[in-house]
Amino acid sequence: MRLDLLSAMNVERAARRACVLVTELEGGAQRLVLAQDVERDPLAEQLDAALRSGKSGAIEHEGRACFLTVQVPPVRIVVIGAVHITQALAPMARLAGFDLTIIDPRTAFATPERFPDVKLIAEWPQNALPAIAPDRYTAMAFFTHDPKIDDPGLEAALSAECFYVGALGSRKTHGKRVERLKEKGFADAQIARIRAPVGLDIGAVSPAEIAVSVLGEIILALRKKPLRADAPARAGAAT
């Protein structure tokens, strides 16, 4: 691999942009196709399919065997709510290899003492999220069950088509949440993507157990089906 191609791949990854490295297995010729250029590429169809699945693999093109090294942005987790569950989730997420950011405007909760070595932003989600720019490769979990804090983040997560959106709260709390999002103009299909009650049904009781169930649910959403590059068009909703 040429060093300039390797550098370019690393630049794309750092900028959270997808790309595909095409290697001819006979002879080793290589080129890098950026996500924005896929449409115009002779291999457009195969490259597009590879990006949708997020999986590397071998293909045939005009009788030649090519290998597609697919690079999609690293998965991030953004948690709204610096609560007890989050204290357990932060080290678990780190071990599992996920980049994690916590947002909570309540400075009594969002303290470095409670969250050592974690990216912690003591601001309102609507102020903190634009810089983070959630995308399809971001999971967002909502743990405050305070609509003032959760809702602006939820709206951003649905609009950005985050691959995982989970929100803590009883069925009753969630019912009210659904009503508020409908009033904001979100479509039923979008709202149905919110996982509530949050977490896999493993009978979790303690904050750490709930953290396990949420991390498991995030991994399920990530691995069980391809990241949705073809998610339904957003209804003209507020962002």
Partner 1 sequence: MLASDEDILARAEEWRKAGKGVAIATVTETWGSAPRPVGSHLVIDEDGNFLGSVSGGCVEGEVVSEAMDTIGDGKPRMLEFGVADEAAWRVGLSCGGRIRVYVEKVD
Instruction: Give the binding site for partner 1 (CB under 8 A).
Output: 1-3, 6-7, 9-10, 13, 23, 25, 28, 55-58, 67, 69-71, 74, 94-95, 97
Report residue 194 as tokens: 């919110």
Minimum distance from CB of 87 to partner 1 (Å)? 19
71 vs 213, beta carbon nearer partner 1: 71
Query: Are 218 and 157 a contacting pair, CB within 8 Å?
Result: no
Cβ pair 227, 137 in contact under 8 A: yes
- Dist. CA 119–CA 150, nearest whole Å: 18
Strand order in the sheet with 64-71: 30-34, 19-24, 64-71, 57-61
Shorter beta-carbon distance to partner 1: residue 94 or 145: 94
* Least gap, CB of 78 to partner 1 (angstroms): 18
**Of 4 and 201, which CB lies nearer to partner 1 in the complex structure?**
4
Cβ atoms of residues 56 and 50 within 8 Å: yes
Shortest Å, Cβ 239 to partner 1: 28
To partner 1, the closest distance from the beta carbon of 95 in angstroms equals 8
**Least separation, in Å, of the C-beta of 174 and partner 1?**
33
The torsion of the CA quartet 181, 211, 83, 186, rounded to 10 degrees, works out to -10
Residue (66 or 191) nearer to partner 1, CB: 66
Question: Is 3 or 233 the residue whose CB approaches partner 1 more closely?
Answer: 3
CB 115 within 8 A of CB 102: yes
Structure tokens at 10: 């690393």
